[in-house]
């Protein structure tokens, strides 16, 4: 998939990872890719797994879309043959609809099925899905139990700390999940009403992890390799989930294992190579050129954040309306940085990236 030079760098850092097991589910490391809407399709998940993610989760998929056998939804369920540690995430409010959807999603051979209980978006929440499920914990035992009965693979959940600051109930949800045989719980350290504002409550996440009968995956504000490494060294969580971080540093699952994570060995030429690999994976995934343009262009903009001249380059990309031009401009920009030995990113690693959301 990659050149010998890049693969050697990747393998060197992959060798520092330690495989883990969360309940019955094995992962190649405790750093996992968070599910992100319109991002975590099969091409992106596979790219991240090849770049060191210990496991991945699909973007949230509607149980109703699955049950209606919607063609777009069916493609979202697609798993690349090379994907190894992948879970499919479903969202919905109706117990029987979710159970039927989980049974169908199982046919695509994920390692586990995950229930989205954290999405704060109004169109999801207003119908009773996502974070809205946190508001009625008494209904969750039956909800979990019926879905679990429909599948023969592990069931997991991803939640938030609560609906708002007056209803923090992550520990209660974890205890209910344990009683129904849920395998692990991933927790985003914000409430639903916070959306993606403010900061993740890691003090609460650590407290829940210490008291939990189930493995806990911590999620929120791990948007740089130094922050991720620091959290790995002190957390009680059994694993960490990264969302926005990999969009600025696609090598974060590897660079977090460096002795000095701020000194990445990956150069602009390496970034260009993985962009080409991503584009090829997209072409194998769909023949829709419009999708190629939209997906590659936004990924390039995120990947180059922090490089010298990135703002001007971003303007050129958004003015480009065909994939050929986008790839040509990207090649020119990144090779220019390589030749000028301008491979360092100038970013405030403590400042949140993409405040609009995603992990």
What lies within 8 Å, CB to CB, of 254 at 6+ separation is: 10, 13, 14, 51, 52
Q: How far apart are CA 291 and CA 323, in angstroms?
A: 10
* Among 82-91, 241-250, 343-352, the least confident range: 343-352
User: Does the pLDDT value for residue 57 go beyond 50?
Assistant: yes
Q: State the fold for domain 268-339.
A: 1.10.1200
User: Does the pLDDT value for residue 349 go beyond 80?
Assistant: no
- The pLDDT, as a whole number, for residue 348 is 77
pLDDT (tens digit, 9 = 90+) per residue, 192-207?
999 999 999 999 999 9
pLDDT (tens digit, 9 = 90+) per residue, 27-42?
999 999 999 999 999 9
Both tokens of 346, joined, read 């100038």
Q: How far apart are CA 210 and CA 212, in angstroms?
A: 6
User: Does the pLDDT value for residue 352 go beyond 70?
Assistant: no
b/e 140-158 (16+ beta carbons within 10 angstroms → b): beebbbbbbebbebbbbbb
- What does pTM read for this prediction? 0.96
Sequence-separated contacts (24+) of 137-143 with Cβ below 8 Å: 137/169, 137/172, 137/173, 137/176, 140/173, 140/176, 140/177, 140/180, 141/176, 141/179, 141/180, 142/95, 143/95, 143/98
Q: What percent of the chain lies above the pLDDT cut of 70? A: 97
- Taking residues 252-272, report their average pLDDT: 97
Pairing state between β 25-27 and 20-22: antiparallel
Are 65 and 72 contacting, i.e. CB atoms less than 8 angstroms apart? yes
Distance of CA 320 to the CA centre of its chain: 28
User: Does the pLDDT value for residue 359 go beyond 70?
Assistant: no
- The pLDDT, as a whole number, for residue 347 is 80
Question: 185 to each of 59, 69, 208, 234, how far by Cα in Å?
Answer: 17, 28, 10, 19
- Taking residues 97-111, report their average pLDDT: 98
Q: Is 119 a catalytic residue?
A: yes
- Taking residues 143-150, report their average pLDDT: 98
pLDDT classification of 344: cutoffs 50, 70, 90: very high
Query: Where are the chain's structural domains?
Result: 13-255, 268-339
CATH of domain 13-255: 3.20.20.70
The active-site residue out of 40, 63, 119, 237 is 119
User: Does the pLDDT value for residue 304 go beyond 80?
Assistant: yes
User: Does the pLDDT value for residue 56 go beyond 50?
Assistant: yes
């Amino acid at each position: 998939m990659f050149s010998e030079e890049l693969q050697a760098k990747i393998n060197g850092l992959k060798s520092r990872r330690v495989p883990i097991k969360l309940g019955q589910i094995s992962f190649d490391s405790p750093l996992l890719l968070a599910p992100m809407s319109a991002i975590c399709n099969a091409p992106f998940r596979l790219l991240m797994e090849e770049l060191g993610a210990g496991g991945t989760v699909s973007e949230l998929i509607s149980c109703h879309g699955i049950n209606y056998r919607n063609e777009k939804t069916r493609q979202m369920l697609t798993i690349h043959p090379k994907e190894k540690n992948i879970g499919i995430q479903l969202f919905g409010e109706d117990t029987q609809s979710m159970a039927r959807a989980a049974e169908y999603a199982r046919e695509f051979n994920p390692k586990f099925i995950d229930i989205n209980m954290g999405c704060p978006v109004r169109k999801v929440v207003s119908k009773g899905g996502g974070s809205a499920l946190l508001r009625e914990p008494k209904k969750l035992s039956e909800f979990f139990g019926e879905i679990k009965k429909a599948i023969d693979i592990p069931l997991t959940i991803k939640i938030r700390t609560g609906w708002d600051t007056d209803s923090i109930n992550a520990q209660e949800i974890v205890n209910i999940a344990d009683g129904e045989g849920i395998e692990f719980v991933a927790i985003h350290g914000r409430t639903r009403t916070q959306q993606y504002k403010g900061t993740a409550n890691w003090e609460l996440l650590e407290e829940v992890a210490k008291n939990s009968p189930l493995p806990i995956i911590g999620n929120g504000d791990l948007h740089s390799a130094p922050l991720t490494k620091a959290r790995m060294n002190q957390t009680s969580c059994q694993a960490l989930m990264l969302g926005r971080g990999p969009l600025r540093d696609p090598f974060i699952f590897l660079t977090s294992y460096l002795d000095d994570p701020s000194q990445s060995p990956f150069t602009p030429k390496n970034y260009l190579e993985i962009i080409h690999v991503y584009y090829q994976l997209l072409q194998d995934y769909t023949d829709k050129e419009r999708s190629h343009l939209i997906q590659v262009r936004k990924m390039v903009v995120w990947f180059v954040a922090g490089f010298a001249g990135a703002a001007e380059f971003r303007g050129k990309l958004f003015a480009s309306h065909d994939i050929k031009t986008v790839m040509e401009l990207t090649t020119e920009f990144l090779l220019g940085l390589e030749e000028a030995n301008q491979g360092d990113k100038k970013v405030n690693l403590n400042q949140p990236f993409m405040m609009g959301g995603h992990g």
